[in-house]
Amino acid sequence: MKKKLLSVILAVSMIATLMMGCGDTTEETTSTGEVAEEVTEEVAEEVTEEPAAEGEVQVGIVLPTKDEPRWLQDQAQFETILGDAGFSTQVLFSQGSSATEKTNVEALVAKGIKVLIICAQDGSAAAAAVESAKAAGVTVIAYDRLITGTDAVDYYVTFDSFAVGAAQGQYLVDNAPAGATGVPLYLYAGAATDNNAFIFFEGAWSVLQPKIADGTFVIANSSEATGLSATAALTRDEMGKIIGQITTDWDFNVAKSKAEAHLTAVGADMKGDVLVLAPNDGTARSIADVFGSDPDVASFVVTGQDSEIASVQYVIDGKQSMTVFKDTRTLAADSVAMAVSVLNGESVATDTTYNNGVIDVPAKQTAIVVVTKDNVQSALIDSEYYSADEFTGLN
């Protein structure tokens, strides 16, 4: 594979990141689309020189589950980009099981992979799986979720998780009832086994905590968070205690049950106009349905992330307030660029590091965009992430 392929993929990644960070315009989107077409054509010409041996898999990918739209979208992105780049690849799903995840990694290693791209089901439990891959000479790229407690992680590709949480928190601050005090705030978080859940929450807390401390917001559903309301910078253990009370496990049904239990447990003073920190789109929809059906909840502002089709429709319909758009095309392209560099024996482009408890893992971050009803068209349709016919009610 020639160096030209790597430079082209990196160029696309940089253009896409700049486009998202600047609030996409139609002109920019058209330009990027044209570049993408050129990349596909050039890659097709480049990759016929070194086909993979029959049965060989060069890049193995392990994703958490088939049951969330986000990961199916990522599968499609990887298969398309890596296929266009001429690499043999296989995507396997862990389906919520760290044991299955380890088996998947072992199966891919047995097929001769040179690079493993893995989004861990459990960041700590995944250490054993990647250590076995590393021992076999495989380069390990942690994808979207950091793998902790091991030195067997070579690189990390991620969105700025702190910025995601901060954006969610800022949206709640900006859209709270004007001039009100004592506004009920319901906190929810992702899985305690996911390092990102801590970083998302840390980002949100950094923005929300001053409003909690001065009495503008009152926490409605976590005694641990209430007890730490005067603490601006939480330790990992302190966050763990809070997340232990408000975790959704990234599960729609868990989120629904907790929201129902929380609203049942509080009085009328903790209803009315409320704010809800929901960690992602799936949980946001479940929580929104519960809050929307309570007659004592006059209005609610609820966050989300991932820009899933169902949640974008909720945003358009006014059922979900916002979603954080994380362009998986760019994240996947960054991962592919890393894989290309590794396979070609070239230096890997990174721009920061993340400490996983053992080492500082070199990382590449991807920009995020806050999506509301006002910019669904520009952020998601004009950028060709989705097509307009997938939604109803667009202006």
Q: What is the 3-state secondary structure (H, E, C) of 57-69?
A: CCEEEEECCCCCH
58: left (phi over 0), alpha (psi -120 to 50) or beta: alpha
Three-state SS at 381:
helix
Give me the helices (H) in the chain, please. 3-21, 26-46, 69-84, 98-110, 126-135, 161-174, 195-213, 223-227, 236-246, 252-265, 281-293, 309-317, 328-343, 376
Q: Is the pLDDT of residue 159 over 80?
A: yes
**Rg for the chain, CA atoms, rounded:** 21
Q: Is the pLDDT of residue 5 over 50?
A: no
Per-residue pLDDT, averaged over 158-169, amounts to: 96
Residue 95 C-beta-side C-alpha neighbours within 13 Å: 4
**Whole-angstrom distance, CA of residue 109 vs CA of residue 321:** 43
Q: Is the pLDDT of residue 275 over 60?
A: yes
Structural tokens at position 325: 């758009």
Q: Tens digit of pLDDT for each residue in 49-84?
A: 343 444 578 999 999 999 888 889 889 988 888 888
Which residues are CB-neighbours of 174 under 8 A, at least 6 positions away? none
Could you tell me which of 85, 73, 151, 153 has the C-alpha nearest to residue 118? 153
Q: Tens digit of pLDDT for each residue in 318-342?
A: 999 999 999 988 888 899 899 989 9
Q: Which domains does the chain have, with CATH numbers?
A: 3-153+327-366 (3.40.50.2300), 161-325 (3.40.50.2300)
Q: Helix, strand, coil shares of the chain as percentages rounded to 5?
A: 50, 15, 35
Stated pTM of the model: 0.75
Structural tokens at position 10: 């990196």
